[in-house]
Structure formats: C-alpha cells, structure tokens
A and B are shown apart, each in its own frame.
Chain A
C-alpha cells in the first residue's frame, strides 16, 4: 500500500515557460523550476517583479501551457496544454486567488453569481442549493448573505478579496495558488485576509502556494519559502531559516532591503542596497543569472549555471557556486 503522505500533492520538474515575442526574442519567464509541495503545506514564493512568480503559478494551474517540463498532482501528470475538459476536471482540485480584487471580478455579475459560477458549471446542484452554498460561503469569508445581490463596485478592496477567496474555495479544492492576494490592500485589512486564509486552510486542509513580494508577510504565513530570480529558484528552505539565515547572496540582499517596522533595528542595520536592477529575461545567457549584480561573483559564475542543490549541514537548497 502506498503511503499517501509521502507523495507530494504537487511536484514540478524542470517546469519551463517561454514566451516568443517575435524577432527571435524569447522571454524566459519560468526556466526549469523543480519543486514539490507537501500536503497541507504553505509554500511561499518571493522575488522581484519580473522574476516569474506569477507565471509559475499560472503554468502550474494550466492557465499558461507548459513549454517544457511536467507538473504532477498527487503523482498524476497534468496535460501540457489544457483543453476545456481538462479545466473542467482540474479546476475542482486546484484553484487560484488573484492579485487585484478590482480587475479580477466581472463588474457585470453580482457577488452571488461570481461565487456560484463554479458550482453552476461543475456540479448538478439546483439553483436554490447553489444559492444556499453561496450564502454559506459569504458568511464563512466574513461577509453577509444579503451581499449576494450586490455588484463588485459596491464593495471595498478587502471585501472584494474575500469574494475572490469564496469564489476560489467554494468548489473545495485541495490546492490553491494565491497570487499576491494582499498586496492591493491596506495594512489593517491585510491581516484580516491573511487570518481568514489561515483559518480556511486549517478547516479545509488546503495546500497553498503563496506568492507575494512582502517578505515579512511570506515568512509569517509560509512553512517553506522559495526565492525566485529571473525565472529560476535560487533558494528553498524553511521560511524562518531562509529569512533569518539566508545563504544565497540574492536572498541576503532581498532580506536586507526589506525595511523592518522598528526604527532602532532598522537604523543599525548596514545598508545592503543592491546595485542595478533585475536584467531582462529575454534570451538569457548561460551562467548564473545573478552574476552581474552579485557581490561575491567569481569567474565560474558567468560560464556555468549553478544547480539547485541541497546543503550539507542545513535543510536547504541553494543554487550558487559558493556552496558547491
């Protein structure tokens, strides 16, 4: 008998997504990402804009076809390019919560229609049963059932994000990609949404990929943290450990740039401001992608692409020649 807990819920191998933008230019948005997510785990994914974190989330769910590589859900390989039957099948298991609660809800549909749409398409429930479930979910995400007949513009940003959460979770998926679910919200409301997600995760036994650029929030939310740079993962490990004891030079700089809400500590920290900006992901040259900004760059870095390898003494995977 196979022990279910040992099969990761999601496993990607060499997952790659290129975009051909014409003129022999190819954007390497996601480039050979291999990572696994265990049942009921929260994997945080951080990186600068343009590092490919959102594209990774979308490729995993089949919203973009894969250029190369595989995604396995509970050991079963997902199709390279989804057709509508695939979406029908997998959207019951895997869902996504989107970044912008303003543009991700159809302004011509009521909250009730938005939340209930999945049920209408995926199940044989009757209208009144759907209505009952929608009203149930409105309460679960902290809204009221009479909000059902309102349109998105009648809600605040935090409330819309709750609608987005209810929409994604009403089919009771096992796996959810949260793509920057809080970055459009105010600080006081962010915590409301984070706690709501945490509670729902506990009660439903969800597995989450939590994509964000707010490092403190990702550290707080996640079990494990993966740091992405220009389409590939440079470091993975326990969230606290990656944050407090970063190994990869890029992680180190990223953590150092993250301002902490504590004036004394913040002013006593040496500045780790990095030179330059994330390079263009078009036609990426071989070698370490971080080489041109790295403070510890060596000769080998511009020739050989480092692999994501486990470290000896800590539970961590790092893609850097310094550690190999």
Chain B
C-alpha cells in the first residue's frame, strides 16, 4: 500500500440505478487501490455490488438508468471516470483488459475466435488484419491452446468452456493492458479447468507485471490468487487487508461468518457449518447504520443507526465494525476464535 507504486486508485465510488421500484444504491462509497504486479481480490455475495463497481469504472454500465454519483478512479494519476481515452490511448481494451464470468455468452458467436482476438489489435494498435491475426495466433499459443493456428479459424461453438475462457484471456491481454479485471473468471468452470485458468493468469501476470483485480465469491480462489483482499457487503467494503490479514486475523463479523459457513478441509478443526442467518439488506433503502447488523450475532444499538468508520488494525488492514471502537463493550479479541 505504498503510495508510489499505486497504479490504479478508486476513491469513494458510488453508483445508483433508477428502477421501477425506486433507486438502488448498488455501490455506496468504496475506495481501493492496486499496484503493478499485484492481485486484489474483491469478495462478496451476489448483489453486494462487486461487479457493478468495476463495470462502472470501465464505463460499462448503461447510463441511464445507472448513475455514478460520486468518486474518482485514477489510472496512473489520470481520471478515467466518464472518459474513454487518456493520453491518447483508449482505456477499455488497451489500458484495462477485462474477462467476464460466462465465456459462452461473452464472445460473438458469428465471428471466428482469431478475428475476435485480432479486433482490439486493429482498433487500438492500428495493426493490419493480417498482422493482427498472426498476433492472435501467438496469443492463443501463449494461453496454451493447442493447435492455435487451426483453432483461430474456428467459431466459439467449437470451443469448450475452458478453451473459451482462455480465448477471452488472450483477447483481454492482446494490447498488453496494465490492469486485468477478471469478473468471476472461473465460476462457470469445473475445478480442474479452474486450476488451469488460475495457473495461466498467474503465469501471465509474472510475465507482463500487470495488476489483476479478481472478483469472486470463492474464498478458495482468493486464498490461492490474492495479495490483497477487499470484502464487500451491501455496497461497501467492510474489511480490507493483505490476504494473510483477512484470512488469519479477520476483523469483521461478516468475514468470519463467511469463513465459518464454508467447510474447511482440516479434519481437526471441522465442526459444524455455521450459516449466516437471514439475507442481505434491500439496497432500495439501505439501513442507516452498518449493512450487516441485521445478520450480525454481535450487533449493538449503535450499529443500527450509525455507520462505523474505518478502524485500522495495522497499516493497510482496516475494518468497518463498531466493535473495534475503543469504547465498545464487546472486545473482538475475546469473541473471535483466532
């Protein structure tokens, strides 16, 4: 978290959507940063705003009904919110590459894989079709697709899910972006293929030193990939720290709840699964206090009425929970088992 190495910095980003039912406050003021060669994982359950937050900074949410109500996103010191070009370079595709959850529906079924990978190179880098297609074959080779030259001439329906995800990664990294955003890249894949894709992403990161923002709900994937972790709940980041901090010194009841709800593979520690009761709050009218208080086993009266501030446990590890206030009657150290 040293300031000098920050590549990308989001501050106080808030996003709303107008719907028939009212205004949904999908993202309610989040801040984070990533550095070169690092992986930040954003974890949370469906509807917590993790996908919307990255889509909004990429300019991928429809406006209207979407609306970015506040915040800034600085890439190498340049504001990118509401813009598509910085320093003469397109942001999307060129500076930031993105891969999506479902490779089957994210690719164009009427274009060959090679053409789809070549397209950003033609658009952003001014390559001729021939050059771009040759580069596309190289990229397919880099993402370890066998017989790349033959495969490049095939259509998405001729690829399996894992192969499509590789093709999508090839497309995302084609213009050597400084950041790769991966929105649930392996959720639709089997564990064996997931392991292949995660290995591939790590290898590419080592080679190109790109930063990765990985959105996922799978704590196993986080444990494997992340340097830093941001845990999101109801549109806010409730805990942020290094992967060691978040897993071994969890400070927020939601992080603890998530961990207790998953089976551990340590037979010594295995007790019963402790589900988190209830469901996330309605973001049409988010609670005035902590979003998690209705499900929190330790909630206090202040939790319902006031937002907790950031409590730093060490440099870079903060949580938003009233229990960490110095006057709190509940002492987290006594309540948490670790």
Binding site for B on A (CB under 8 A): 48-49, 156, 158, 186-192, 194-195, 213, 215-217, 219-220, 240, 243-244, 253-254, 256-267, 271-274, 277-278
Interface locus among B6-14, B54-62, B263-271, B316-324: B263-271
Smallest CB separation, B198 vs chain A (Å): 8
Bound Cα distance A260, B221 (Å): 8
The list of the 6 closest CB pairs from A to B, nearest first, reads A259-B220, A191-B275, A220-B263, A261-B219, A188-B276, A257-B195
Q: Contacts A263-B223, A273-B196 known; A189 to B275 CB distance under 8 Å?
A: yes
Counting chain B CB atoms within 10 Å of each CB, the highest count among A188, A216, A258, A277 belongs to A188
Q: Contacts A188-B276, A220-B270, A259-B223 known; A273 to B192 CB distance under 8 Å?
A: yes
Interface locus among B74-82, B100-108, B254-262, B325-333: B254-262
Instruction: Determine if B122 is an interface residue (Cβ-Cβ < 8 Å).
Output: no
Is the beta-carbon distance between B265 and A277 smaller than 8 angstroms? Answer: no
Is the beta-carbon distance between A215 and B191 smaller than 8 angstroms? Answer: yes
Query: Which A residues are in CB contact (< 8 Å) with B220?
Result: 216, 258-261, 266
Is the beta-carbon distance between B273 and A274 smaller than 8 angstroms? Answer: no
1/0 per residue, CB under 8 A from A, across B147-164: the answer is 000000000000010110
Is the beta-carbon distance between B273 and A213 smaller than 8 angstroms? Answer: no
Partner of B199 from A191, A215, A266, A271 at Cβ < 8 Å:
A271
Query: Which A residues are in CB contact (< 8 Å) with B275?
Result: 188-192, 194-195
1/0 per residue, CB under 8 A from A, across B228-257: the answer is 000000000000000110011000000001
8 more A-B residue pairs beyond the given contacts A186-B45, A259-B223, A261-B222, with a C-beta to C-beta distance below 8 A: A189-B275, A192-B277, A216-B265, A219-B265, A220-B263, A262-B264, A265-B223, A266-B223
Query: Which B residues are in CB contact (< 8 Å) with A266?
Result: 220, 223-224
21 A-B pairs in the complex with CB atoms less than 8 angstroms apart: A48-B190, A190-B275, A191-B260, A194-B275, A215-B191, A240-B267, A253-B192, A257-B191, A257-B194, A259-B194, A259-B195, A260-B264, A261-B220, A261-B259, A261-B264, A262-B266, A263-B222, A263-B248, A266-B223, A267-B224, A277-B192
Counting chain A CB atoms within 10 Å of each CB, the highest count among B45, B267, B279 belongs to B279
Instruction: Determine if B217 is an interface residue (Cβ-Cβ < 8 Å).
Output: yes
Partner of A186 from B194, B195, B217, B260 at Cβ < 8 Å:
B217
- The A interface is mostly helix, strand or loop, or mixed, namely helix
Smallest CB separation, B170 vs chain A (Å): 17
Is the beta-carbon distance between A260 and B199 smaller than 8 angstroms? Answer: no
Instruction: Determine if B272 is an interface residue (Cβ-Cβ < 8 Å).
Output: yes
Is the beta-carbon distance between A243 and B265 smaller than 8 angstroms? Answer: yes
Q: Contacts A188-B45, A188-B275 known; A274 to B261 CB distance under 8 Å?
A: no
Instruction: Determine if B142 is an interface residue (Cβ-Cβ < 8 Å).
Output: no
Bound Cα distance A156, B278 (Å): 11
| Chain B contact residue count (CB 8 A cutoff) | 46
Is the beta-carbon distance between B263 and A187 smaller than 8 angstroms? Answer: no
Is the beta-carbon distance between A271 and B195 smaller than 8 angstroms? Answer: yes
Partner of B263 from A217, A254, A267, A272 at Cβ < 8 Å:
A217
Query: Which A residues are in CB contact (< 8 Å) with B193?
Result: 48, 277
Query: Which A residues are in CB contact (< 8 Å) with B262?
Result: 187, 191, 216, 261
Query: Which B residues are in CB contact (< 8 Å) with A257?
Result: 191-192, 194-195
Partner of B45 from A187, A213, A262, A265 at Cβ < 8 Å:
A187
CB-nearest residue of chain B relative to A218?
A: B263
Bound Cα distance A261, B46 (Å): 19
Bound Cα distance A264, B195 (Å): 17
CB-nearest residue of chain A relative to B273?
A: A191
Partner of A213 from B190, B198, B264, B272 at Cβ < 8 Å:
B190
Is the beta-carbon distance between A274 and B162 smaller than 8 angstroms? Answer: no
Query: Which A residues are in CB contact (< 8 Å) with B244?
Result: 263-264
Q: Contacts A273-B199, A277-B193 known; A187 to B217 CB distance under 8 Å?
A: yes
Query: Which A residues are in CB contact (< 8 Å) with B258?
Result: 187-188
Bound Cα distance A200, B322 (Å): 37
Partner of B247 from A188, A195, A243, A263 at Cβ < 8 Å:
A263
Bound Cα distance A217, B219 (Å): 13
Query: Which B residues are in CB contact (< 8 Å) with A253?
Result: 192
Q: Contacts A192-B277, A195-B275, A262-B223 known; A213 to B191 CB distance under 8 Å?
A: yes
Smallest CB separation, A188 vs chain B (Å): 4
Instruction: Determine if B304 is an interface residue (Cβ-Cβ < 8 Å).
Output: no
Bound Cα distance A261, B221 (Å): 7
Q: Which of B188-227 contact A (CB under 8 A)?
A: 190-196, 198-199, 217-224, 226
Query: Which B residues are in CB contact (< 8 Å) with A254?
Result: 191-192
Partner of B46 from A186, A256, A262, A271 at Cβ < 8 Å:
A186
Bound Cα distance A195, B260 (Å): 13
Smallest CB separation, B257 vs chain A (Å): 6
Instruction: Determine if B274 is an interface residue (Cβ-Cβ < 8 Å).
Output: yes
Query: Which B residues are in CB contact (< 8 Å) with A188?
Result: 45, 257-258, 261, 275-276
Query: Which B residues are in CB contact (< 8 Å) with A195?
Result: 272-273, 275
Bound Cα distance A273, B203 (Å): 13
CB-nearest residue of chain A relative to B229?
A: A263
Bound Cα distance A258, B189 (Å): 12
CB-nearest residue of chain B relative to A250?
A: B192
Smallest CB separation, B321 vs chain A (Å): 17
Query: Which B residues are in CB contact (< 8 Å) with A156?
Result: 279
Query: Which A residues are in CB contact (< 8 Å) with B224?
Result: 259, 263, 266-267
Counting chain A CB atoms within 10 Å of each CB, the highest count among B224, B248, B257 belongs to B224
Smallest CB separation, A245 vs chain B (Å): 12
Query: Which B residues are in CB contact (< 8 Å) with A278?
Result: 190
Smallest CB separation, A278 vs chain B (Å): 8
CB-nearest residue of chain A relative to B267?
A: A240
Query: Which A residues are in CB contact (< 8 Å) with B257?
Result: 188
Bound Cα distance A190, B258 (Å): 11
CB-nearest residue of chain B relative to A275?
A: B196
Query: Which A residues are in CB contact (< 8 Å) with B162?
Result: 277
